[in-house]
Every structure is written in C-alpha cells, then in structure tokens.
Structure 1
Amino acid sequence: MRRLIPPARPAAALAAGLLAVLSLSACSGAVRVEPPKPEGPAAAGCQKLATALPNRLDGVERVESDPPSPYVAVWGAGEIALRCGVERPASMAATDQATDLDGVTWYQDPQLPALFTAINRAAYVEVTISGKHVPGDVMVDLAGPIKSSIPE
C-alpha cells in the first residue's frame, strides 16, 4: 500500500506521496492515509469535524481509510483526502498569501498544487484534491463543517 500523505512534511516526501498512484487495500477497500496525532483543543475540534463531514463530496462517496481514524476522511478512491490536526505547513511563511473561501482561510502549498490547508483555526485541516475535482468547490463544501467544528 502507498500513503497519500506521509507522516513527515518535507516537500520531497509530500510530492512523492501526492504523485503516487493510490492503491486500495485488497481486503477492506480502504485508502491508506497516515493519520495525524492532534492534542488538546485541536483534537477536540477534529473529533467534532469528523461527525460533521459529508458522506458525499464533489460527486464522490466517502470511503474508509486505513488505518481508521477520526482525524482522516477520504472520498472516492483517494480523490479527496482530509487530515485534521496536522502541523502548521512547513512551507508557509508569514508573508504568504492565503485565500478566504466561505469564511475559511486556505493556504496552498506552492510546491504541491494539490495540497491545501485550512489555517487560522484551533486545528490545521489539510486537504489533498486530485485533478478530477475543482479545488475551490471542494473547499467551499468543507467550509461549513470546518467553521462549525473548529474555532478560530
């Protein structure tokens, strides 16, 4: 199995993970995603977010992740993957621009155009979006659950 998002944040490792073809576990049909390990308010917000996320996102159904985690959500065959409670993006500088979509501020990693992180909240929420989807549509659809679950 290959990981969609490796546990470490170096750009080279992330690029390799993002470019890898996802595979489904033969026995469970789950998509392999390494879960983060948030603590305190971040963990509480992420657990609340887990119950607020949609079963269908941008036309694809939610599927199981491997290992199962309240901090991970996957739609399609790994077309969209969310990890809640990740570390602050290592590539994000104070001078970087971010985009506000429906009340949630998103940072896009300039080296990894498929990787977006909701910032300025008690927990960072990382979303990887395949080229099959329009990132803005996905981020707007996730804004409501993020706003209602994770305080600024």
Structure 2
Amino acid sequence: MPVAVPEPAPEVVDACTTLIKAFPPKVLDAERRDTDPVSPLTAAYGDPPIEVTCGVSPPAGMAEAQSQCFEVNGVGWYAKEAANGVIFTTIGRTLYLELAIPKKYTPEANALTDVSDAVKAHNTLITPCT
C-alpha cells in the first residue's frame, strides 16, 4: 500500500530522517517494513500497515482543538477519526509526525506508547498538552 510522502523544508527532512530512524523495530507487535515509495520520512508496520509519516502539515481543526490534546508518556497527540481507524498527530513539537492506525489494532492509542521514546528524544517539545 503506498504511503504519501510529504515535501517539507530541507531542515525538516533532516530532522524527520533522524526521528524515523529512531523508531522501534516493532509497533504493537507488528514488524517494521518498507514503504512504497521508500522514503526517509515514512515507516510502516504490519498488515494492514500502521503508517508513520514525518513532516506533515498540521491537520485541519487541530489549532482550535488544543483541549483535545491527550498525552501518552510525555508526548501530546491530536486524534482524528478516519474511515479505517484513527490518525494521530503530534502536538506542541517542532515536527509534525502522523501515525495512521487501522481499526485492526484497537485500541489504536496503544501504538503511541511504542513510539513515544523516539518522539521525545528526537522531536523537541515546544508546548506541553494543556
């Protein structure tokens, strides 16, 4: 399944490449696999794939949804329901990172626990969840 690759500024590409490399070999016991197209800004896990994309734009509605920010292991996330699951986007960090998690992995938010250490280490906190 193809994963859309964003086209952020070069400094965002460099920071995202470091962050994606730091992601774990498994998320929710799903093995890491290649994306199509292969990109340093994306990763995928399992089948159906949990899709990770770094360097995305903030989702529509996120700015007015600060009250919807929830924190998992020190990382703030904005959740948006999608047709086949939930899309989570980091809040209050220098990079916008998105995890698209299919319903197969319910409860989808459990995947955030697996990636939080990498996000904390490689995506600088600007403002915490409120």
Q: TM-score, normalised by structure 2?
A: 0.84
Identity, in percent, stands at 31
Residue number in structure 2 paired with 1:136: 109
What CA deviation, in whole Å up to 9, does each residue of 1:31-76 have, x standing for no partner? Answer: 3101112225432321111210111111111111111101000001
For residue 77 of structure 2, give the secondary structure of its aligned residue in structure 1. strand
- Tell me, in whole angstroms, the C-alpha distance in 2 between the residues paired with 1:110 and 1:64: 25
Alignment of 1:78-97 (within 5 A): 78-96=48-66, 97=68
What CA deviation, in whole Å up to 9, does each residue of 1:67-107 have, x standing for no partner? Answer: 11010000012431010010011121334411011011000
Report runs of 4+ in structure 1 exceeding 6 Å deviation.
none
Residue number in structure 2 paired with 1:69: 39
Considering Cα pairs closer than 8 Å and 6+ residues apart, tell me whether 1 or 2 has the greater RCO: 2
For residue 47 of structure 1, give the secondary structure of its aligned residue in structure 2. helix
Equivalent AA in structure 1 for residue 89 of structure 2: T
- Tell me, in whole angstroms, the C-alpha distance in 2 between the residues paired with 1:62 and 1:150: 20
CA root-mean-square deviation: 1.7
- Which of 35, 42, 52 lines up with 2:5 in the alignment? 35
8 Å CA contact retained: 1:41, 1:123: no
Q: TM-score, normalised by structure 1?
A: 0.73
Equivalent AA in structure 2 for residue 77 of structure 1: D
- Tell me, in whole angstroms, the C-alpha distance in 2 between the residues paired with 1:77 and 1:88: 26
Q: 1:78 to 1:38 in 2, by over 3 A?
A: farther
Equivalent AA in structure 2 for residue 150 of structure 1: N
Equivalent AA in structure 1 for residue 91 of structure 2: I
Instruction: Report which of the two structures shows the higher radius of gyration computed on alpha carbons.
Output: 1
Runs of at least 5 residues in structure 2 that lack an aligned partner in the other structure:
126-130
